Amino acid sequence: MSLIEARDLRRTFTLRRKVGRFRRQRHEVVAVEDVSFAIEAGETVGYVGPNGAGKSTTIKMLTGILVPTGGFVRVCGLEPAARRRELAGRIGVVFGQRSQLWWDLPLLESFDLLRDIFRVPRAAHADRLDECVELLEMGPFLHTPVRQLSLGQRMRGEVTAALLHGPRLLVLDEPTIGLDLESKVRLRRFLARLNAERGTTLLLTTHDLDDIETLCRRLVVIDHGRVLADGPLAGLRAEVARERTLVVDLERPVPPLELPGARVAHVENDGSRQHLVFDRERLTAAALITAVAERAPVHDVSVLEPEIADVIRRLYELRESRALPVVDR
Ligand SMILES: Nc1ncnc2c1ncn2[C@@H]1O[C@H](COP(=O)(O)OP(=O)(O)OP(=O)(O)O)[C@@H](O)[C@H]1O
């Protein structure tokens, strides 16, 4: 059984718009139109899309905060909205812009309260807390009231709070939003380790491409409430962003190289370093290097893969032109 299963999931909101002086007209917003995916234990999945795509609405349905208007959803075998309390005992949830901590209490007391709420055995609680305190370096501020913590410190507390009952699945909505670089790196390292060592499944929404690059082996891309693409990160790259760049360092400067199947995107050092863009389907890096070597002696080479930003932008372009390939999992 999949840890998360969503089939034709749908959520609409009814808004009332003022029309004229007295009348109000009902108006329907479709936030999630027809979303289907399944997530297995141990996966790390990035749920991405532009603003208003329907990410948070989906996460709220998966965690039982919102009732779907249609479709089927099961998380850890439970119907989230109907079994919200039970589900809360099996999953961990972190909302970057909402807190599950008690603002006036020292951080440690929030953790104690959560132990009581989830009825976690003392020994298990202590083990998990010790591990989080050590890895997230929370020792110096465990006794500080939550409202006095920096955002980076509070987020470490939020993630710990979500893990104290030992969930198999951690759902994170924009976990690194607003954090400084050091805090982001620390949090990502922690989450990656959680997945690698504990097998904790991660599902996260993010606008941060570095989060995706370092944490997610699979991407589900959504736009206008529909899944645009779903597949391994590497697969999506190969499928929709076929352009790679060969960077060649030559023994001496030469004019921009004109080679079949490749175009010069950038020239440095008077022409002794050139960036050649080519289509992975039409040309191999080896063939291109051979072609370059016939023109000038090659000192060094490297191949750059497309950035994840390119992959996502390309997906949106393909959607606009309705030429979106179906990405099989
Ligand atoms: N409570 C609500 N009432 C009315 N409309 C809503 C409500 N919540 C979300 N929407 C609308 O549903 C759509 C999807 O919103 P959602 O917050 O799920 O997007 P998102 O992908 O999480 O966006 P962002 O990246 O900006 O957080 C938007 O058009 C939004 O305005």
Are 262 and 91 in contact by the 8 Å Cβ rule? The answer is: no
What's the CATH superfamily of 4-237? P-loop containing nucleotide triphosphate hydrolases (3.40.50.300)
Tokens representing residue 156 in the block:
């470490």
pLDDT in tens, 114-151: 999 999 999 999 999 999 999 999 999 999 999 999 99
**Could you read off the pLDDT of 212-235 as tens digits, one per residue?**
888 999 999 998 899 988 988 877
CA proximity to 159, closest of 211, 208, 108, 100:
100
- H/E element holding 48? strand 44-48
Measured from the CB, is residue 53 less than 6 Å from ligand 1? yes
Q: 225: CA distance to ligand 1 center in Å? A: 10
Mean pLDDT of 150-162: 94
Distance, CA 113 to ligand 1 centroid (Å)?
32
pTM assigned to the model: 0.81
Residue ID of nearest Cα to ligand 1 atom 8: 57
Whether 29 lines ligand 1, by a CB cut-off of 6 Å, is yes
Spatial separation of the C-alpha atoms in residues 275 and 113, rounded to whole Å: 57
Pocket test for ligand 1, best of 10, 13, 62 (most atoms within 8 A of CB): 13
Lowest average pLDDT, out of 112-126, 281-295, 310-324, goes to 310-324
Residues 79-107 pLDDT 10s: 999 999 999 999 999 987 788 899 999 99
The ipTM, to two decimals, is 0.96
Instruction: Name the residue type at position 239.
Output: E
pLDDT at 324: 55
Exposure letters 258-271 (e unless 16+ CB within 10 A, then b): ebeebeeeebeeeb
**How many whole angstroms separate alpha carbon 73 and alpha carbon 7?**
6
- Read off the pLDDT band of 322 (50, 70, 90): low
Q: Report the run of H or E that residue 299 belongs to, with start and end.
A: strand 298-304
- Residue with the smallest CA separation from ligand 1 atom 23 is 52
Q: With contact defined as beta carbons under 8 Å apart, do 91 and 121 qualify? A: no
pLDDT of residue 325: 53
How would you class 23 by CB atoms within 10 Å of its CB: exposed for 0-12, middle for 13-18, buried for 19 or more?
Answer: exposed
Residue 256 to residue 106: CA distance in whole angstroms: 63
Cα(58) to centroid of ligand 1, in Å? 10
The region that residue 58 occupies, defined by phi over 0 for left and psi between -120 and 50 for alpha, beta otherwise, is alpha
What CA–CA distance (Å, rounded) separates 231 from 249?
35
What is the C-alpha to C-alpha distance for residues 150 and 136, in angstroms, rounded to an integer? Answer: 14
Decide if pLDDT at 318 tops 80: no
Within the chain, residue ranges assigned H as helices are 55-62, 84-88, 107-117, 122-135, 151-163, 181-193, 209-215, 233-240, 285-295, 308-320
Q: What is the rounded CA–CA span in Å between residue 278 and residue 222? A: 28
Q: What strands, in cross-sheet order, belong to the sheet with 273-279?
A: 262-268, 273-279, 243-250, 298-304
Residue 329 pLDDT > 70: no
Least confident stretch, 125-129, 133-137, 260-264, 306-310: 306-310
Domain boundaries, the chain: 4-237, 242-305
Residue 206 token pair: 């993010």
49 lines ligand 1 (CB under 6 A): yes
Query: Residue 326 pLDDT > 60, yes or no?
Result: no
The type of residue at 236 is L
Residues in Cβ contact with 47 at an 8 Å cutoff, skipping those fewer than 6 apart = 55, 58, 59, 203, 204, 205, 220, 222
Ligand 1 center–CA 52 separation, angstroms: 5
9-33 pLDDT, tens digit each: 999 999 888 878 878 888 889 999 9
For 89, the token pair is: 């005992």
At residue 323 the predicted structure's pLDDT band, cuts being 50, 70 and 90, is low
Which CATH number applies to 242-305? 3.30.70
Contacts of 327 (CB under 8 A, 6+ apart): 229, 230, 231, 235, 236, 239, 240
* Amino acid letter, 217: R
- CA gap 20, 24 in Å, rounded: 8
